[in-house]
């Protein structure tokens, strides 16, 4: 890891740069595949599934038989773990429900707001070397709580044309309505335009690599909403001498093993801790099954020493981490003042992996600095707010004159007339 001591603020931007490709490197490929899927539908989807995943098959929809077979292969221990996680996720997201907001803004003018579910949603679940069945829970559980009618799940198949059994088990448990063996850019394009096999959806959720991220952003140009432009995973830990070095190292490695383009950063007011964490990383790295991946991610990561908590906080807010762990004596300072982070983990016994799996919070979070202006996925992500109003005769009399004056000032005479006619009718009725 790269050790940096007391970096000057003017260098922070360069030091904290993410190890990602620029959109220009990827956009051309994404646009070409989108055009082909839009024009040729399932034919294009099959072509790119064969090209990228090495899989060929007739029907991309997962059958009931395949789901039943997958369920039979899952151990009882894993089933119980998934059900525990699902229960906690349900509790946390159910608590986010809000009641109707209603107010009489002036006598006779009643306004209210109600939530409505997004009717058709698409879930993208990464497969490959790390099949993220936990993401199924994080997305399908709140979708069901919100009342979404159609939940379409896309996940890349292996070379034999199968989806990881744990993904199928979780999807079935969470009442996903359609499961499709398709991944990458072609999956996002399919849910954007709709094909014979892939339903068109209104909003797409789920993490992915940089190609999937750019594909989701392109989907917004065709009237489809997305949860956020989430890309490679990242973690920043702030720690001092009260932190346990082996714990800190394990958390840094837990994110580093996601992919070679993941980034992990330690910010500390203790040079001693930095040295101890670096040693612990090397020791723990040796026994990881995904050592080769983690090593490459670690090469892009940083150990940064700063003199005090105030400087650390300023640097962290500049970075805007997806995951932010606080292991300091004055943890309240960071909890009170942090402005930019996707999800915050506090104390030596709160590993980031708890949020990834079973504590109940959502792990679909903004990356690449988007924590400065995006929230992580929550119950409201699956709903939209609708406003209502009902105005009585007294109400239109109370606000009518103001509407007339404002409409006339904007040169919108028909707007004014819509009020004038009503006020005259009330007056004539008397």
CA proximity to 362, closest of 103, 78, 54, 95 = 95
The answer to whether residue 66 is catalytic is: no
C-alpha to C-alpha distances, 399 to 388, 402, 404, 405, 420, nearest whole angstrom: 17, 5, 9, 10, 11
Give counts: helices (H), strands (E), the chain.
17, 14
**Residue 209 labeled ligand binder:** yes
Check: CB of residue 231 under 8 Å from CB of residue 224. Answer: no
User: Which of 93, 322, 352, 363 is labelled catalytic?
Assistant: 322
Check: CB of residue 298 under 8 Å from CB of residue 264. Answer: yes
The answer to whether residue 322 is catalytic is: yes
CA proximity to 185, closest of 203, 148, 210, 202 = 210
Question: What is the 8-class DSSP label of residue 308?
Answer: S
CATH 1.10.760.10 given to domain 392-429: no
Instruction: Give the DSSP H/E element, type plus range, for residue 414.
Output: helix 413-429
Residue 124 φ then ψ, to 5°: -105, 120
Classified as helix, coil or strand, 338 is coil
Rg of the chain on CA atoms, in Å:
26
C-alpha to C-alpha distances, 71 to 108, 124, 160, 170, nearest whole angstrom: 58, 20, 18, 9
**Residue 186 labeled ligand binder:** yes
**Torsion region of 334: left, alpha or beta (phi above 0 gives left; psi -120 to 50 gives alpha):** alpha
**Residue 258 labeled ligand binder:** yes
- What is the rounded distance in angstroms from the CA atom of residue 338 to the CA atom of residue 330? 13
Question: 23-104+118-230 has which fold?
Answer: Rossmann fold (3.40.50)
Within 8 A by CB and 6+ apart from 224, the residues are 191, 192, 201, 202, 203, 204
Give one DSSP letter per residue of 301-365, joined into a string.
Answer: -EEEE-SSHHHHHHHHHHH--SEEEEESTTHHHHHHH--S-SEEEESTT--HHHHHHTSSS----
pLDDT value at residue 32? 97
pLDDT in tens, 363-401: 999 998 999 999 999 999 999 999 999 999 999 999 999
**Residue 233 labeled ligand binder:** yes
2-20+232-360 and 23-104+118-230: same fold? yes
Query: How do strand 343-346 and strand 203-205 relate by DSSP bridges?
Result: unpaired
- What is the rounded distance in angstroms from the CA atom of residue 409 to the CA atom of residue 131? 59
Residue 309 φ then ψ, to 5°: -65, -35
- What is the rounded distance in angstroms from the CA atom of residue 302 to the CA atom of residue 2? 5
C-alpha to C-alpha distances, 162 to 127, 175, 179, 181, nearest whole angstrom: 10, 19, 11, 7
User: Which of 323, 331, 352, 404 is labelled catalytic?
Assistant: 323
Pick the CATH number of 2-20+232-360 from 3.40.190.10, 1.20.120.1150, 3.40.50.1980, 2.170.120.20: 3.40.50.1980
pLDDT value at residue 430? 66
pLDDT in tens, 336-359: 999 999 999 999 999 999 999 999
Residue 237 φ then ψ, to 5°: -115, 135
Within 8 A by CB and 6+ apart from 87, the residues are none
Weakly modelled stretches of the chain, pLDDT under 50: none
**Residue 363 labeled ligand binder:** no
- Token pair for 78: 């894993």
**Residue 124 labeled ligand binder:** yes
Question: What is the 8-class DSSP label of residue 54?
Answer: -
- Token pair for 206: 């789920």
Question: What is the 8-class DSSP label of residue 61?
Answer: B
Domain residue spans in the chain? 2-20+232-360, 23-104+118-230, 392-429
């Amino acid at each position: 890891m790269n050790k940096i001591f007391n970096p000057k603020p003017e260098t922070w931007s360069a030091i904290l740069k993410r190890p990602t490709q620029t959109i220009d490197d990827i956009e051309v490929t994404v646009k070409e595949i989108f055009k082909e899927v839009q024009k040729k539908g399932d034919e294009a989807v099959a072509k790119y599934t064969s090209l990228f995943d090495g899989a060929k098959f007739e029907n991309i929809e997962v059958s009931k038989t395949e789901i039943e077979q997958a369920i039979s292969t899952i151990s009882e221990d894993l089933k119980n773990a998934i059900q525990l996680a699902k229960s906690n996720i349900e509790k946390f997201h159910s608590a986010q429900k809000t009641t109707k907001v209603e107010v009489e803004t002036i006598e006779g003018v009643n306004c209210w707001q109600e939530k409505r579910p997004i009717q058709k949603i698409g879930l993208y679940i990464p497969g490959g070397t790390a099949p993220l069945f936990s993401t199924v829970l994080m997305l399908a559980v709140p979708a069901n709580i919100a009342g979404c009618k159609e939940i379409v799940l896309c996940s890349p198949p292996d070379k034999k044309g199968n989806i990881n059994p744990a993904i199928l088990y979780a999807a079935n448990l969470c009442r996903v309505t359609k499961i499709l063996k398709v991944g990458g850019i072609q999956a996002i394009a399919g849910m954007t335009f709709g094909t014979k096999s892939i339903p068109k959806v209104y909003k797409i959720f789920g993490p992915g690599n940089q190609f999937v991220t750019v594909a989701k952003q392109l989907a917004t140009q065709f009237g489809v909403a997305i949860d956020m432009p989430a890309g490679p995973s990242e973690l920043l830990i702030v720690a001092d001498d009260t932190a346990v070095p082996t714990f800190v190292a394990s958390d840094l490695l837990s994110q580093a093993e996601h992919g070679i383009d993941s980034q992990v950063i330690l910010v500390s007011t203790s040079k001693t801790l930095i040295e101890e964490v670096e040693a612990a990383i090397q020791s723990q790295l040796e026994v990881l099954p995904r050592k080769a991946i983690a090593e490459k991610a670690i090469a892009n990561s940083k150990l940064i020493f700063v003199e005090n908590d105030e400087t650390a906080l300023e640097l962290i807010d500049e970075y805007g981490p997806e995951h932010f762990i606080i292991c300091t004596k004055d943890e309240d300072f960071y909890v009170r003042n942090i402005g930019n982070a996707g999800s915050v983990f506090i104390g030596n016994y709160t590993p980031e992996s708890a949020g990834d799996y079973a504590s109940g919070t959502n792990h679909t979070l903004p990356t690449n600095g988007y924590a400065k202006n995006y929230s992580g996925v929550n119950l409201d992500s699956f709903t939209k707010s609708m406003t209502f109003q009902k105005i009585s005769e007294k109400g239109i009399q109370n606000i009518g004159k103001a509407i007339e004056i404002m409409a006339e000032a904007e040169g919108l005479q028909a707007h004014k007339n819509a009020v004038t006619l009503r006020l005259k009718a009330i007056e004539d009725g008397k």
